[in-house]
Amino acid sequence: MHYFLTEEQQMIQDLAAQIAKEKVRPVRAELDQQEEFPWEIMKVLAQSDLFGLYIPEAYGGLGGGILENCLAIEQLAQACIGVATSFAASGLGAYPILLYGSEEVKQTYLPDIASGKRLAAFGLTESGAGSDVSGIQTTAVKDGDYYILNGTKQWITNGGEAEIYSVLAITDRSKGPRGATFFVVEKGDPGFSFGKKEKKLGIRASATRELVFQDCRIHKSRIIGREGMGFIVAMKTFDKSRPGIGALGIGLAQGALDIAVEYARKRVQFGKPIISFQAIQHKLANMATKTEAARALIYSVARYMESDPSDSSKVAAMCKVFAGDVAMEVATEAVQVLGGYGYMQDYPVEKMMRDAKILQIYEGTNEIQRNIIGQELNKEYSRLKDSFF
């Protein structure tokens, strides 16, 4: 189904699906086992102009939006969300620049990101600051026309591989939420280095690494937005990126469903293909229904956010929490349908189940997403004058 997509959107979907089939599937097991960053695939995606889907034409992009980006992410995720995460994380790093960067900053960095010449990354999380963003310890102290950054970021996707980093640091702790600022930091800047590369349960093709700042001097022209806007920039960036996490979820769920149905049609027990048994049919039916429901949510929210971006925190969180939970459930059920084979590395559903867990954790745990949804509901209903009972 094409879900009322335009011809151009269908082309994006088909192109990403082709790359996933021809370039990602044949190497996904090897990338996972070797924990190897998929540079060759990133180059193919760059040559196909997919890195510029959501970036305006003025900065070298294709001028699309959230839906176009989600379509590409979903298709890549059907094959491997480790690869798809590496692709999507460049968008996460680019969004602060796209949303709040000065014209000079946009002109400097967005064309390279759009072309895939340089990957981007988003530097927020620290050992003591994940769900609680206010716990950030990395500081940026003003020194004339420069800021001196000190601190360590943890679990940064594309860390060490990306060349452009949107980094959040505290510029004035006394101001609380208004005391943080985003900066653009480039790989190779003096005082900026990388710590250990993490060994992970899943998405092992994706690089996850520490960012280390030791008296790293960044010129004030590389501030994103204004000093003190850091938390606003972070929250608005997450609103834009969370449908993409949902797209990772529906892609993985669809990939696991495809394998489960194919296996159930071929696997014979008691003289019949196991898909003829009601227990298996019900599992597959639930998997398919929830995957379609998640897809419908992601697509509709992506369209809504393009038309009314001012009020999107609740629906963006819904995308992330629902699709992430669906991916985990569908991948686990796919392993169950395949039985003993599903638990072995001969079939990719074992990898998919390991990969799926991160979707409930990164870019805001699903518990935090439910907090956001609940808080937004409270705000909405406090404005209503009618009583419902």
Query: Which residues are annotated as catalytic?
Result: 363
Helices (H), 38-153: 39-47, 66-79, 81-100, 103-115
Structural contact between residues 202 and 351, judged by C-beta atoms closer than 8 angstroms: yes
Tokens 């196991």: give the residue.
274
Here the tokens at position 386 are 């009618």
Structural contact between residues 61 and 114, judged by C-beta atoms closer than 8 angstroms: yes
Kindly report the number of other CB atoms within 10 A of residue 260's CB atom: 27
- Return d(Cα 47, Cα 41) in angstroms, integer: 10
Phi, psi angles (nearest 5°) of residue 71: -60, -45
Kindly report the number of other CB atoms within 10 A of residue 166's CB atom: 27
Structural contact between residues 59 and 114, judged by C-beta atoms closer than 8 angstroms: yes
DSSP 311: S
Nearest to 123 by CA among 272, 224, 12, 205: 224
DSSP reduced 3-state for 184 = strand
Helices (H), the chain: 7-19, 28-34, 39-47, 66-79, 81-100, 103-115, 230-266, 278-307, 313-338, 349-356, 366-382
Here the tokens at position 315 are 């629906």
- Return d(Cα 380, Cα 389) in angstroms, integer: 17
Structural contact between residues 359 and 243, judged by C-beta atoms closer than 8 angstroms: no
Kindly report the number of other CB atoms within 10 A of residue 303's CB atom: 14
Structural contact between residues 334 and 352, judged by C-beta atoms closer than 8 angstroms: yes
β-strand partners of 272:
269
Structural contact between residues 89 and 45, judged by C-beta atoms closer than 8 angstroms: no
